[in-house]
């Protein structure tokens, strides 16, 4: 297999991000030209890839009453949010800052779901004043505080209780959220009592039930198991006289980073909806909160080769992107495909691709076969989710610029961060 053929085989987002005449293209735009114009590191997102991923969910829910809330923690860049909002999505938030971003992006407040285990009184108050659609509540103390805050404003907060079904999502332990040992949600065995408590509080209006078991899930069985447990609870809760307007099944569907084969969103939801119908809840309003599966493979990070450092045990390929730009490998030992922007038809060597940050954990890829010279551009794939949103200024490095590509047009949606930007809020 030639270097070009191998590079093309490694791309997870074809046809939106693919090679044409030996050049990596993002839709109709040359990746090399984008790097020359805007510098590196540089995040580039394909709007068509984002909307194609969303369309699979929309097909799956055709004919159903459903609200797809993009989980904006995956990537909270305003242009990304705006793309999904304009396509009809709501937004799933986990902080007051994300609420302000969501509102700035133009979302209807009634399409905002507020998740997270540690909402503050100030965040609750702001969300109530904004008129959000629902709070996903994760503990009894949170129920009590939210009721108090809402009553103080003369309102009733719409709530859905996040139930922890104790289902193994078979994913990385850091991103598993549905087991007994996780910090999230109310235990399945305690849920009925929690709902009865919520229904008795003056500042709350119970509207639904929520479940989220993890992230980067690549099998259907955890979803099916979780749905059975949630629907058993719905039976018990409604038998006690509490009506649930909606059922929220969270998100977590995985993407192809390195040969994973998660189910297509529409195929997965056909299975889940068949079970929902069989249990008699086919007409209930549904809410879901996908994040990574909508944006992950729509983005790449372009980076330039700075030095080649052959060694006795390892060869290091040093690039200008680092763990502050792409934290997933350092945090989770995650795999991202790394491909040349303009493949060389020469013999490859085995390299560890590393950044300039002063940490041994600053690596982007281990033992990669690449034909490369200093100055060559590389693309780190599957960089749309949990890269820019988790980026930092470690080593006083400025955050990268971001571009959104739509057909043959590329638009700068976040300027590169300067050292002046970093220092603006500091004083001596």
The 3-state secondary structure of 410-424 reads EEEEECCCCHHHHHC
Element holding 230 (H helix, E strand): helix 221-239
Per-residue pLDDT reduced to its tens digit, 138-169: 999 999 999 999 999 999 999 999 998 877 55
Residue 44 · residue 405 · CB < 8 Å: yes
Model confidence, pTM: 0.94
Cβ atoms 169, 252 nearer than 8 A = yes
**Lowest mean pLDDT across 67-76, 159-168, 170-179, 231-240:** 170-179
Predicted confidence at residue 268, as pLDDT, reads 93
User: How far apart are alpha carbons 288 and 251 in whole angstroms?
Assistant: 6
Asked if residue 96 belongs to a known ligand binding site, the reply is no
Cα–Cα–Cα angle for 269, 116, 213, nearest 5°?
35
37 is in an annotated binding site: no
- The 10s digit of each residue's pLDDT in 265-276 is 999 999 999 999
402 is in an annotated binding site: no
Per cent of the chain over pLDDT 70 is: 96
Ramachandran angles phi, psi of 161, nearest 5°: -90, 125
Retrieve residue 335's tokens.
Answer: 């795999």
Residue 1 pLDDT: 77
Q: Is 19 annotated as a binding residue?
A: no
Domain boundaries along the sequence of the chain: 3-47+296-423, 115-290
Model confidence over 210-260: pLDDT tens digits?
Answer: 998 888 888 888 888 888 889 999 999 999 999 999 999 998 899 999 999
> Which class does domain 3-47+296-423 fall in?
mainly beta
Peptide bond into 15 cis (omega under 30): yes
Question: Is residue 202 a known part of a binding site?
Answer: no
Mean pLDDT, the chain, rounded, equals: 94
Supply the pLDDT for residue 170. 54
Count the neighbouring beta carbons within 10 Å of the beta carbon of residue 335: 17
**CATH fold for the domain made of 115-290:** TIM Barrel (3.20.20)
Q: What mean pLDDT is predicted for residues 344-354?
A: 95
What pLDDT score was predicted for residue 230? Answer: 92
Q: Which of 69, 89, 301, 358 is catalytic?
A: 358
Structure tokens at 21: 């005449």
Flag whether 332 is marked binding. Answer: yes
Structure confidence at residue 176 as a pLDDT band (50, 70, 90)? very low
What pLDDT, on the 0 to 100 scale, is given for residue 202? Answer: 98
Is there a binding annotation on residue 252?
yes
Confidence of residue 180 (pLDDT cuts 50, 70, 90): low
Q: How far apart are CA 126 and CA 72, in angstroms?
A: 18
290 assigned ligand-binding residue: yes
Q: Is the pLDDT of residue 376 over 60?
A: yes
b/e map 374-412, b = 16+ CB within 10 Å:
eebbbbbbbbbbbbbbbbeeeeebbbbbbbbbbeeebee
pLDDT band at 312 (very low <50, low <70, confident <90, very high): confident
Q: Catalytic: 211? A: no
| Ligand-binding site membership of 208 (annotated) | no
Give 388-413 pLDDT, tens digit per residue: 999 999 999 999 999 999 999 999 99
């Amino acid at each position: 297999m030639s270097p070009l053929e191998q590079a093309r085989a490694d791309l997870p987002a074809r046809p939106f991000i693919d090679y044409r005449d030996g050049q990596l293209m993002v839709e109709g735009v040359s990746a090399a030209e984008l790097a020359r114009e805007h510098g590196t590191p540089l995040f580039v997102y394909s709007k068509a890839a984002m909307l194609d991923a969303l369309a699979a969910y929309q097909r799956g829910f055709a004919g159903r009453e459903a609200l797809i809330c993009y989980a904006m923690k995956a990537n909270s860049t305003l242009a990304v949010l705006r793309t999904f909002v304009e396509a009809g999505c709501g937004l799933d938030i986990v902080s007051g800052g994300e609420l302000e971003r969501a509102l700035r992006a133009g979302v209807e407040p009634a399409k905002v779901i507020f998740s997270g285990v540690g909402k503050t009184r100030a965040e609750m108050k702001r969300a109530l004043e904004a008129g959000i659609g629902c709070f996903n509540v994760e503990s009894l103390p949170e129920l009590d505080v939210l009721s108090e805050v809402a009553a103080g404003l003369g309102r009733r907060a719409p709530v859905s209780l996040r139930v922890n079904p104790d289902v193994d999502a078979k994913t990385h332990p850091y991103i598993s959220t549905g087991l007994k040992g996780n910090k999230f949600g109310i235990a399945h065995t305690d849920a009925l009592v929690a709902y009865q408590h919520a229904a008795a509080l003056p500042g709350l209006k119970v509207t639904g039930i929520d479940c989220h078991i993890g992230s980067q899930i690549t099998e259907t069985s955890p979803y099916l198991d979780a749905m059975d447990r949630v629907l058993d609870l719905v039976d018990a809760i409604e038998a006690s006289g509490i009506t649930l307007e909606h059922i929220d099944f969270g998100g977590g569907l995985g993407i192809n980073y390195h040969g994973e084969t998660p189910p297509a969103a529409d195929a997965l939801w056909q299975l889940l909806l068949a079970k929902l119908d069989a249990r008699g809840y086919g007409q209930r309003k549904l809410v879901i909160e996908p994040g990574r599966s909508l944006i992950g493979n729509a983005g790449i990070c372009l980076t330039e080769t700075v030095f080649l450092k052959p060694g006795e045990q390892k060869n290091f390929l040093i690039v200008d992107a680092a763990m502050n730009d792409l934290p997933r490998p350092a945090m989770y030992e995650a795999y991202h495909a790394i491909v040349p922007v303009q493949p060389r038809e020469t013999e490859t060597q085995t390299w560890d691709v590393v950044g300039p940050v002063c940490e041994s954990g600053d690596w982007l890829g281990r033992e990669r076969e690449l034909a490369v010279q200093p100055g060559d551009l590389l693309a780190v794939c599957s960089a749309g989710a949990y890269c820019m949103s988790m980026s930092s200024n470690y080593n006083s490095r400025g955050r990268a610029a971001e571009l959104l590509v739509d057909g043959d047009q590329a638009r700068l949606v976040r300027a590169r961060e300067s050292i002046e930007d970093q220092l603006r809020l500091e004083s001596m």
